[in-house]
Amino acid sequence: MKKVVVVGAGLGGLVTAALLAKRGNQVIVMERSPILGGRSHVISKNGFTMSYGAHAVLAPKQEMMQSIIRELELPMIYKKASLSKFKLFKDGKVISSPLGFGALTSPAVSGFFNHILCLKQFYQMVKQASDFLPTMSVGQWIRENIHNPEIAKVLTAYAALSVYDGALDWYSMNHFVELTAREYEKNEPLSYMGYDLLLNELQQVITNHGGSILYGKQVTDLIIEAGKVKGVVCGGEPYECDEVVLNAPPNALGKLLHDPDLADEFDGYLNQPAHYVYVYDLMLSKKMRGDISNLLDLDGGLYLNVYSLNNASSAPAGGQLINGLKFLSEQEQADDSHAEASQRAIEHLLHHVYPGWETYVVSKRIINRAMVNGIARRTNAKLLPLQSRSVKGLYLVGDSTEGRGALGMPCYDSAKKVADIISAT
Ligand SMILES: Cc1cc2nc3c(=O)[nH]c(=O)nc-3n(C[C@H](O)[C@H](O)[C@H](O)COP(=O)(O)OP(=O)(O)OC[C@H]3O[C@@H](n4cnc5c(N)ncnc54)[C@H](O)[C@@H]3O)c2cc1C
């Protein structure tokens, strides 16, 4: 049995802690904030449950993901991703996507031949073997391969929806294909599980196996002796342990690495630029529509996810939870001056799709700049290694660590690999 301190209660830290606790180790999670989940934390208000970040566990049948679900006995709900409920918004109208039921008739593309071409190019895009140059981004691939502007718009919209952030010039084609091909080639369902439930399950596994989660505990330093980690410092107090797992994302990690060898080792990974989107969430007391799960504005860079359709327990019976996103240009990301215009743009879309929505607002939540670094997998992102080379017993997990895949997948991936390395040593 080892004594392990996990710094950070994000997805990466919690999954690592749950696996290690279940395997009989003594685990302490130290979280600087008063809540669980980090960028996937959950807010509950007026009977609605809303995830700040992750909504779905993607690629749940992937071997690594399956083994985590099995080992931790997580009660997942599987749903097929339905392209027929993915709609587009164009010229003030909701229209079907030519990738779903509207395969041959959608007004998003004109002409029979172009519909066939659109489907062909869609399958070419999501099913190609993922052996692109690492520098090939999704945006660049679409520009170089799709010459019909209508089809390019539809495929861009689909890709933006799949990677959740519109940062297509930063998202590598290899990661994109890996994520989406599974859904089509391997007929893999999305997996839904309210993140409130997931966080709760992980917490239960940790505490039921003798572990503890300490809140309001910001780790400020590592204790290192003769090239081996011996513990962490928090609130001026030392906490001794055999191994330390860091879940802090690169920007927070920088503040922790005072040892010159470590600072040197990780220099190239720290201070990666952040990427932001505008998030506008609405809780409605009335179910406004049931025929849309996701709506993408073809021209406006806007996206509505009808969260309660995918995750029924997120809204009380008869209510609806809508998660709106606006993709921001680099200039808009720099400060909050876009905020008013972004809000107006999403509300403009709402007026068309859900006339009278204002009458039913129970509550709303706006985040001018939600950090989506975990989603925007920059083509040349320097992903943190799983383990320090210069300090023994020091590990790194989370979405900026090693692990191909997308969205929260690197959190699960790195957690499993680090738990396996610690269990084997
Ligand atoms: C709008 C949005 C939608 C998303 N949708 C999806 C989705 O549908 N599916 C999906 O899989 N993923 C999705 N994601 C991505 C997913 O949420 C992230 O990949 C994941 O939450 C990142 O987790 P992490 O463990 O790497 O880091 P974090 O969540 O950042 O966790 C790090 C934790 O460490 C703590 N910490 C940092 N420094 C210290 C310190 N010194 N001492 C103590 N604690 C510290 C922080 O407070 C934090 O709790 C979405 C993200 C966003 C923002």
Q: What share of the chain is helix, strand, coil (3-state, %, to 5)?
A: 35, 25, 40
Distance, in Å, from the CA atom of 186 to the CA atom of 7, rounded to the nearest integer, reads: 36
Q: Output the CA 37–ligand 1 centroid distance in Å.
A: 7
pLDDT score of 120 more than 70? yes
Contacts of 299 (CB under 8 A, 6+ apart): 90
Block residue for tokens 């049948």: 61
Residue whose CA lies nearest to ligand 1 atom number 9:
54
pLDDT score of 378 more than 80? no
Half-sphere exposure of 320 (CA within 13 A, CB side): 20
Contacts of 111 (CB under 8 A, 6+ apart): none
Return the number of other C-beta atoms located less than 10 Å from residue 236's C-beta: 7
Dihedral angle sign, alpha carbons of residues 171, 172, 174, 175: negative
Residue whose CA lies nearest to ligand 1 atom number 24:
398
pTM: 0.92
Identity of the highest mean pLDDT range in 40-44, 200-204, 407-411: 200-204
Block residue for tokens 């989406």: 180
Which two tokens mark 38?
A: 């980090």
Element (H, E) at 402: none
Q: Output the CA 370–ligand 1 centroid distance in Å.
A: 11
Contacts of 411 (CB under 8 A, 6+ apart): 10, 11, 12, 15, 374, 397, 398, 399
Half-sphere exposure of 161 (CA within 13 A, CB side): 25
Q: What is the DSSP letter of 314?
A: G
Element (H, E) at 364: strand 361-371
Q: Output the CA 98–ligand 1 centroid distance in Å.
A: 34
Assign domain 3-42+54-77+194-272+381-424 to its CATH superfamily: FAD/NAD(P)-binding domain (3.50.50.60)
**Nearest atom (ligand 1) to Cα of 218:** 42
Residue among 164, 219, 276, 294 to mutate when testing ligand 1 (max atoms within 8 A of CB):
164
Residue whose CA lies nearest to ligand 1 atom number 49:
38
pLDDT in tens, 154-203: 999 888 877 766 678 878 888 788 777 776 666 677 777 778 888 999 99
Dihedral angle sign, alpha carbons of residues 310, 314, 317, 319: negative
> Residues, the chain, total?
425
pLDDT score of 407 more than 80? no
Q: Which residues contact ligand 1 via a Cβ below 6 A?
A: 7-13, 30-33, 38-40, 53-56, 58, 164, 218-219, 247-249, 252, 256, 279, 370, 372, 374-375, 398-399, 407-408, 411
Coil/strand/helix, residue 17? helix
**Nearest atom (ligand 1) to Cα of 409:** 11
At 380 the pLDDT is 64
Burial class of residue 29 (count of CB atoms within 10 Å of its CB; 0-12, 13-18, 19+)? buried
Give the bridge partners for 243, in sequence order: 4
Which two tokens mark 214?
A: 């300490």
Coil/strand/helix, residue 153? helix
At 244 the pLDDT is 98
pLDDT in tens, 206-253: 999 999 999 999 999 999 999 999 999 999 999 999 999 999 888 888
Share of the chain above pLDDT 70, in %: 95
Q: Output the CA 363–ligand 1 centroid distance in Å.
A: 24
Between residues 39 and 375, which one has the greater pLDDT? 39
Say which CATH topology domain 276-371 has: Alpha-Beta Plaits (3.30.70)
**Nearest atom (ligand 1) to Cα of 14:** 25
Q: Does 276-371 match 3-42+54-77+194-272+381-424 at the fold level?
A: no
Extents of the domains making up the chain: 3-42+54-77+194-272+381-424, 81-86+96-186, 276-371
pLDDT in tens, 273-316: 778 889 999 999 999 998 888 899 988 889 898 988 878 888 99
**Nearest atom (ligand 1) to Cα of 57:** 11
Residue whose CA lies nearest to ligand 1 atom number 11:
408
Q: Output the CA 29–ligand 1 centroid distance in Å.
A: 15
Which two tokens mark 193?
A: 């599980």
Q: Output the CA 104–ligand 1 centroid distance in Å.
A: 40
Which two tokens mark 416?
A: 């499993």
At 185 the pLDDT is 65
